[in-house]
Amino acid sequence: MDLSEVRETYEERGLDVAEVAASPIEQFQRWYQEVSDAGYWEPNAMTLSTVTPEGWPAARVVLLKKVDEQGFVFFTNLRSDKASQLVAVPQAALTFSWVELRRQVRVMGAVDPLSSDEADAYWATRPRGSQLGAWASDQSTVVTDREELDQRFGAEMVRWRDEDIERPAHWGGFRVEPRLIEFWQGRPDRLHDRLRYRRQDQEDAQRQDWVIERLAP
């Protein structure tokens, strides 16, 4: 399959250093709100990139559940491949691709597990079916077929039929504390706008001093 002739023209408004927020989190929230207001499907979907024990990059799409000045939060099965990789190498990259607005955001940072209280608080908001699924699925392990999963789910439905569903000890969340955040805006003639926010002291994730740099596309 030859895709060499597949291309798009970018005519969107550009990114100006004088107009963006001083905080990359505020700038992210501005862009996210614009995408959300436009009605695009799952704007909180992001590609989470980790590293395997053998040094291979591993990427998958997960859902952002919270963002503030502390970082970007998501939840998962703590026995999953991604969780094991983050425990071994607590660094990750996130990529948001909002193609409808010709925008992309890249985040790089250190990763910390969330507290039990934070995990419990979010768990309580999950639909009951999602809670049951967290118990039924031993994520990233091999299963015989779909029927096996359905049987496990049915067993959990019976088990928790008359009770509130507790959060499994193997289910929780992580926070990516950003060191670098890059905003990409498609522009004509492939001269795209790239603005990178970089912490002045990258060893101190609590500092809120950011340098904004324009990068060549």
129 domain-assigned: no
In whole angstroms, give the CA distance from residue 5 to residue 99.
19
Q: If we measure between CA atoms, which residue out of 174, 70, 79, 68 comes closest to residue 119?
A: 174
Q: Is residue 58 included in any domain, yes or no?
A: yes
In a domain, 162, yes or no: no
Q: Over the stretch 93-134, which tens digit does the pLDDT of each residue have?
A: 999 999 989 999 999 999 999 999 999 999 999 999 999 999
Residue 69: CATH number of its domain: 2.30.110.10
DSSP for 4-33, please give it: TT-----------TTTS-SSHHHHHHHHHH
Paired tokens of 36 = 């959300």
| pLDDT, mean of residues 2-23 | 76
pLDDT band at 8 (very low <50, low <70, confident <90, very high): low
Structurally, the chain folds into a number of domains equal to 1
Whether residue 131 is contained in a domain is answered as no
Does the active-site annotation cover 190?
Answer: yes
Q: pTM for the complete prediction?
A: 0.90
Residue 138 vs residue 60, higher pLDDT: 60
Of 30, 60, 190, 207, which one is the catalytic site residue? 190
C-alpha torsion sign, points 179, 205, 71, 124: positive
Q: Does the pLDDT at position 211 exceed 70? A: yes
What is the arithmetic mean of pLDDT over 11-21? 82
pLDDT > 70 in the chain, percent: 92
Confidence class of residue 33 from pLDDT cuts 50, 70 and 90?
very high
pLDDT at 147: 94
Q: So what's the pLDDT on residue 138?
A: 87
CA distance 182 to 109: 12
Query: Residue 80: which domain range?
Result: 24-124+167-214
pLDDT average, residue stretch 157-167: 94
Residue 140 inside a domain? The answer is no
The reply to whether 39 falls in a domain is: yes
Tokens of 135: 């118990």
Amino acid 105: pLDDT: 98
Given a cut of 60, whether residue 204 has pLDDT beyond it is no
Q: Is the dihedral of CA 181, 186, 188, 189 positive or negative?
A: positive
The answer as to whether 59 is a domain residue is yes
Q: Is residue 69 part of a domain?
A: yes
Q: Is residue 4's pLDDT more than 90? A: no
